Structure 1
């Protein structure tokens, strides 16, 4: 006979477990400690099994019967309810151990193992910090609206570019989860149109020759630390990125052959890069050698030679010289060189791009061009340094001089990049 609520409430415990039967395999266990637990007894694959359905009174009689009926439907479909329960628990445990934050950290560890630049690793760790609102969620549970809500919080602070980068990083994490069997889809794929498109901001740069000459004279008169002055003096000539310059070591310089060889791990595109050194740059390096050489960083920090110059030092020096943020930046000097070299019409655009260490969109062509234009680049760098000197000394707009053919011939013996 089926149980009633009154029978269940009045059931008393004994020295052993007491079983009170209900109907169709459902029964109540009354334990010596007074606990009352629902059980469902069934047979599957010729084996007797039982399934726990909860504790009374948390699970009442009606709810226990509903859970029994659900298990019976699984049996009718050929599913073992007990195995289905275990599978659900394993899935829940798996999801709990594979939160978005966990998978993102694993993805970052993969980037480290692949040799990505320290600055890149720092940036993606920072992006993960911005995505903390979704970090604890199982990656399989996250929906597009969950990710969008986190991104909109960033946009609400006016950080449109940060939000865009966070969406891109999150997408890479979701795709990594799919590739490693922890995810099913990339929910960021449909969010592109929901994000505010940030306005493109170019690095501030001087593009007029007369203004460039004024800047070079200001740099020469800089009264701050000599290492900072020399960093500003070298930067316009070598066309390298600020991070590549400030982390340069003396071991990278072949002064006898006038070449700066930057290893792949320090380059943005993860390819080694070689820069011809003009007479002017060699003179600056000679002055630097007396201050910081012959080993370690070429531009060390002021308080310790164990670390490179701070990434903000040169830009702060420009501010001290009276140049606003929107006028000059260390990175903008590359734009200055690219613009004026191209406007001169004297050098192959590919040679200029190679000196700027820009990647070729065509990978096959990029590999082919890697070793080309070295002789032209040697002549171009010397011409560029000579031109900068004319601007610095002349104080006005000067005509573009002819390429220094003698410099090109004198260094033509150098091995191609």
Structure 2
């Protein structure tokens, strides 16, 4: 297996165009020569059959789609907000890694090899096209409904809930054994599930299962978390770690939250092993009031770094989770409200996403190729508009 630092650089449009041109040239050069007369006759006959079948399909599709032949979904100009800057625990400074020279060639080869194994994760990092989670082709798009709450969004292709959090194969690295790495990976997944998928957490209840996993010796962090749950404000916002909705306002549609992301681990400074988790959660919601049929989606992306620390060198509790850094980005929520809940906007609410204070740039919340880190200063702590939900 390959152990990485969890930060996957994306290809620039120019690099991708070069790659596409080179691939096309290689295909042309390796193509077979002029076929025989018999082969040409067979090919022409098949082509004619394909054309006739295509005409029949288009005729039938026109009837299904109705006049105009298009099924255009409504727009959802909802708001987004980012969480606070990277949270620093135990006085440790953030570590920035830069990879210089030769990365273009190595990355192209990696994309070509990995896309067979995990097309969803790798494709979401390719600039442009559907690979950037641009969504399904237009003909398959549609408005979200109670029966199909993910219709018309890339989330239709995401995994269901915890099934989308696939752990990498554990291996000994740094000062940690294979067993220690496996245990820490499982703890990290358990925390992500409890903090972002547990129905009680989503209903705005105290996230007891997630809190139980945290190392009590991270006293500063535990204090901030409890303060935020007790009396949330801008400085102590439980949304920094937990996905919570006001039960008096909305409810989750069905029992499925869509998930996509990746988890890696690597040795860092002084032999400390860091687990890097980067996941997107898509929540379908409807208003609490009886008879409501409107569906809105909120997209939460979380980056969480946990660490495996040697008890002989650090004050840690065996079997508990040490969070080194965390950050979040929420697509479709009311900005500048810090009451501990996500407040989604619903379609046809005029002006939502364009209110005063939402002055940040537009963002596609499904685009996992964009960075989400301390260097993302342009969007840090700001509100703005999402291009879709």
Q: Judge same fold: TM > 0.5, yes or no.
A: no
If the length of structure 1 is used for normalisation, what is the TM-score? 0.18
If the length of structure 2 is used for normalisation, what is the TM-score? 0.19
- Please identify which structure carries the higher helix content: 1
- Please identify which structure carries the higher strand content: 2
Query: Which is bigger in relative contact order (C-alpha 8 A, separation at least 6)?
Result: 2
